[in-house]
Amino acid sequence: MKSAYKKVLLIIPSKVLARGVEAVLAELGEFRVEGILSDLSHASEVRLRNMDADVIIVDPVVFDYVSRMNVRARLSEYSSAAVVALLTMAMDGEQLKQYDGTIGMYDEPVSMVRKLRESISSREEAADSEGPDLSQREKEILVCVAKGMLNKEIADFYNISIHTVITHRKNITRKTGIKTVAGLTVYALLNNLIDSGSIEL
């Protein structure tokens, strides 16, 4: 069932900013802040996974400089929501490309809402496999992983980029909750995606 408003999760360490965004969105309806996290601790990750947010607004300062390139990938392990950066500082243009959108602290509320709307639709276009079950391609990749193939080998085999393989693997982990290769192999066997003859037992 579609709810009347879009759920927003904030990952913003500054309380002033977080409350500000919440208040601005509340005035306009359409988007409602359902949760505020100040960091990405283990407890936050669990909430992230279970909130079923439509859009996550993240202040990139949460991540240190090195991991700032991988915010989107990190968050996609837990949530399929659109990810929007809140610009609280000057940022490298390259780093901004990973987000589905960006909003600034000086944005008019109306344009902020418009940007959020755009980010959700751009996310929906980008996502080809958003059901709770594994897509056909994800199952194929999972089988390769279970057989012990490396990302590079899988990419060559299907003639896709390594980046795409990694995205598939992140989606597989998000959907199944299983991270290790050994665990994925068990999953594949228990679900009859591979027969026991094709791997060593």
Partner 1 sequence: MTNEIHRMVFSESMKLADLIDVNFKLLNVLSRLGISLGFGENTIREMCDRQGIDLNSFLLICNVYTYDGYVPSADLLAAADAGTIVDYLHNSHAFYLDRELAALESNLSLMVEPCDELQKKIVGKFFASYKAQVKRHFNYEESVVFPYVRALKTGECQEGYSIEQFEENHSNIDETLNDLKNIVMKYLPDTCDTVVRNEVLYRIYRLEEDLLKHTIIEDTVLIPVVNRMETL
Least separation, in Å, of the C-beta of 130 and partner 1? 19
What SS3 state is found at 17? helix
Q: Which is nearer to partner 1, 93 or 132 (CB)?
A: 132
List the x/- string, 97-136, binding to partner 1 by CB under 8 A.
----------------------------------------
Tell me the closest approach of the beta carbon of residue 198 to partner 1, in angstroms: 13
Task: Say whether residue 163 binds partner 1 (CB under 8 A).
Answer: no
| 3-class DSSP state of 164 | helix
Angle, helices 109-126/15-28, rounded to nearest 10 degrees: 90
Residue 89 touches partner 1, criterion: CB under 8 A: no
Our CB check for partner 1 shows the closer of 115 and 174 to be 174
Cα(35)–Cα(11) distance, integer angstroms: 9
Establish if 66 lies at the interface with partner 1 (CB under 8 A): no
Stretch that binds partner 1, among 2-10, 64-72, 111-119, 174-182 (CB under 8 A): 174-182
Contact stretch for partner 1 (CB under 8 A) within 60-68, 116-124, 133-141, 189-197? 189-197
- Residue 87 near residue 103 (C-beta atoms within 8 A): yes
Terminal Cα-to-Cα distance of the chain (whole angstroms): 44
Q: Which of 164, 187, 193, 198 binds partner 1 (CB under 8 A)?
A: 187
Residues in Cβ contact with 179 at an 8 Å cutoff, skipping those fewer than 6 apart: 173
**DSSP H or E run through 144:** helix 136-146
